[in-house]
């Protein structure tokens, strides 16, 4: 798998041309998802080869010219029916257990040091840092709009850049609280393994622990109207020191 | 013997006199039910009844088909050594022969399907590129220069540090996928 990734350049944390595999993981959740995916692929390979072998054998050996009355004997076989019922059930159980384990692990919000509130609007995201207030006792809050194509600086990513990025510190347990002001949106960032629906009037949450500095892009993942494609998400992870400097800057504004 | 077959068939076919295909089906069901109670038959079926059955079978009315089959079934209840070769052949052909759902596909059907599929595929490709021609030009980001700048940008932003542009010893193309803007 690693070899294929190296050749095809598939495993990245911003989308790349012809990217077919996951983006680079930057959080334990995403590592878990990737591992689960690889485990399931193992079963998938076994099933694919077994079923293909059976199909090819049947097509090759039971063709009408070779065995014209094969259907006369194709009546009933208790043993084979038991085998083809119980085996898939066992495979499903083998897939379900690690899947549930991961699901409940991801659901757990580890005592967070920081809360970021993300709210979906038609068609932009707005953010609040309710743990911090400025001199006027106001929360740090800002809107995050897409950068239109004509305003992009050379090299920037079209349809992914925003005017204000969410800044979070690396190696810090962060809770992202997600809601919406109008219709259902979905807050997603593949590298961090987050995808949580944003419902108007309800709060959703996701736990993030970014394990390296970097910039991670995502997009709204629930059809929310005509500009659904134009409300990207850009999360930048910085060192704690840089985060505090950024915070100071925001408080002064 | 042939006359006997005909005389057996005559009263039964009276039930099928009601018009319409469903009536005929109904009649043949009645015949089947009646025939199932029949005993084994010691008398071979007449050759003319079975002669060239492969060619006649599809054209025979369901009523006659059912009758013939029931007669053959009666014959198969006796020792099969007593059956004539023609009876055995006919029984096998009716049960497993290439008619009805087992009928052979007409000659050249594969080519016909292939040509139709090809025609439709070509038509959809033409329509796709036709619509494509009417579309807006590619955005300015789809040029080699811009995408090379994207690689630099990604390096500064520490994007893709495990397998992508920011990884140590990376030699791939990164975000570059388009031809140069001057060429296009």
Pairwise CA distance, residues A217 & A232, whole Å: 7
Task: Tell me the whole-structure pTM to 2 decimals.
Answer: 0.71
For A111, residues 6+ apart whose C-beta sits below 8 A from its C-beta are A173
Of B157, B159, B164, nearest to A9 by CB-CB distance is: B164
Residue range(s) in chain A whose domain bears CATH number 2.60.40.420: 114-252
Chain B residues whose CB is inside 8 A of the A189 CB are: none
Does any CB of chain A come closer than 8 Å to the CB of residue B160? yes
Of A24, A154, A212, nearest to B163 by CB-CB distance is: A24
- pLDDT in tens for each of the 184 residues of chain B? 333 443 343 333 333 333 333 443 444 444 444 445 567 777 788 778 888 888 899 899 999 999 999 999 999 998 888 889 999 999 999 998 888 888 888 889 999 999 999 999 999 999 999 999 999 888 989 999 999 999 999 988 888 888 888 888 888 888 888 888 775 5
Residue range(s) in chain A whose domain bears CATH number 1.10.287.90: 28-107
pLDDT in tens, A230-241: 999 999 999 999
Q: Which of B98, B157, B173 to mutate to test binding with chain A, by most A CBs within 10 Å of its CB?
A: B157
Distance from CA of B165 to the nearest CA of A (A): 9
Strand partners, A208: A174
Domain A114-252 adopts which CATH fold?
Immunoglobulin-like (2.60.40)
Residue located via tokens 């077919």: A20
Q: Which of A63, A155, A217 to mutate to test binding with chain B, by most B CBs within 10 Å of its CB?
A: A155
Chain B residues whose CB is inside 8 A of the A64 CB are: 102
- Reduce the secondary structure of chain A to three states and give it as a string: CHHHHHHHCCCCCCCCCCCCCCCCCCCHHHHHHHHHHHHHHHHHHHHHHHHHHHHHHHHHHCCCCCCCCHHHHCCCCHHHHHHHHHHHHHHHHHHHHHHHHHHHHHHCCCCCCEEEEEEEECCEEEEEEEEEECCCCCEEEEEECECCHHHCCCCCCCCCCECCCEEEECCCEEEEEEEECCCCEEEEEHHHCEEEEECECCCEEEEEECCCCEEEEEECCCCCCCCHHHCEEEEEEECHHHHHHHHHHHHHC
Does any CB of chain B come closer than 8 Å to the CB of residue A215? yes
What is this model's ipTM? 0.78
pLDDT in tens, A64-75: 788 777 777 777
Pairwise CA distance, residues A13 & A236, whole Å: 12
User: How big is chain A by its Cα radius of gyration, in Å?
Assistant: 25
Structure tokens at A113: 């040091």
Does any CB of chain B come closer than 8 Å to the CB of residue A222? no
Q: Which of B138, B159, B167, B177 to mutate to test binding with chain A, by most A CBs within 10 Å of its CB?
A: B159
Domain A28-107 adopts which CATH fold?
Helix Hairpins (1.10.287)
């Amino acid at each position: 798998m690693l070899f294929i990734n190296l050749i095809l350049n598939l495993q990245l944390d911003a989308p790349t041309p012809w990217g077919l595999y996951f983006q680079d993981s930057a959080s334990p959740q995403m590592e878990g998802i990737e591992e689960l995916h690889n485990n399931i692929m193992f079963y998938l390979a076994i099933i694919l080869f077994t079923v293909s072998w059976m199909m090819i054998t049947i097509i090759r050996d039971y063709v009408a010219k070779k065995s014209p009355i094969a259907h006369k004997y194709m009546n009933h076989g208790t043993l084979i029916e038991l085998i083809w019922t119980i085996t898939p059930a066992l495979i499903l159980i083998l897939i379900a257990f690690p899947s549930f384990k991961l699901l409940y692990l991801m659901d757990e919000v580890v005592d967070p040091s920081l809360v970021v509130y993300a709210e979906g609007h038609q068609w932009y995201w707005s953010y609040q840092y309710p743990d911090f207030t400025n001199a006027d006792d106001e929360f740090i809050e800002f809107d995050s709009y897409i950068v239109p194509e004509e305003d992009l600086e050379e090299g920037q990513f079209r349809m992914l850049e925003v005017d204000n990025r969410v800044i979070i510190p690396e190696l810090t347990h962060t809770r992202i609280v997600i809601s919406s002001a109008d219709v259902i949106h979905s807050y997603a960032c593949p590298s961090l393994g987050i995808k949580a629906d944003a419902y108007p009037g309800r709060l959703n949450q996701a736990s993030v622990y970014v394990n390296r500095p970097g910039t991670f892009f995502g997009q709204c993942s629930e059809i929310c109207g005509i500009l659904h494609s134009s409300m990207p998400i850009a999360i930048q992870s910085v060192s704690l020191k840089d985060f505090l400097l950024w915070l100071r800057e925001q408080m002064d504004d | 013997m042939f006359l006997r077959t005909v005389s057996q068939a005559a009263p039964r076919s009276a039930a099928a006199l009601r018009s319409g295909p469903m009536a005929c089906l109904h009649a043949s069901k009645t015949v089947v039910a009646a025939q199932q109670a029949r005993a084994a038959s010691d008398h071979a079926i007449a050759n003319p009844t079975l002669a060239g059955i492969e060619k006649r079978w599809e054209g025979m009315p369901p009523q006659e088909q059912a009758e013939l089959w029931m007669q053959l079934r009666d014959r198969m209840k006796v020792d099969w050594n007593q059956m004539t070769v023609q009876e055995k052949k006919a029984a096998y052909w009716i049960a497993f022969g290439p008619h009805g759902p087992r009928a052979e596909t007409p000659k050249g059907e594969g080519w016909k399907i292939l040509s139709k599929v090809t025609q439709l595929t070509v038509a959809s490709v033409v329509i796709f590129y036709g619509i494509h021609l009417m579309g807006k030009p590619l955005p300015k980001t789809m040029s080699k220069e811009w995408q090379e700048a994207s690689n630099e940008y990604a390096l500064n932003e520490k994007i893709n540090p495990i397998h992508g542009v920011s990884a140590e010893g990376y030699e791939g193309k990164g975000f570059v996928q388009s031809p140069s803007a001057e060429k296009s």
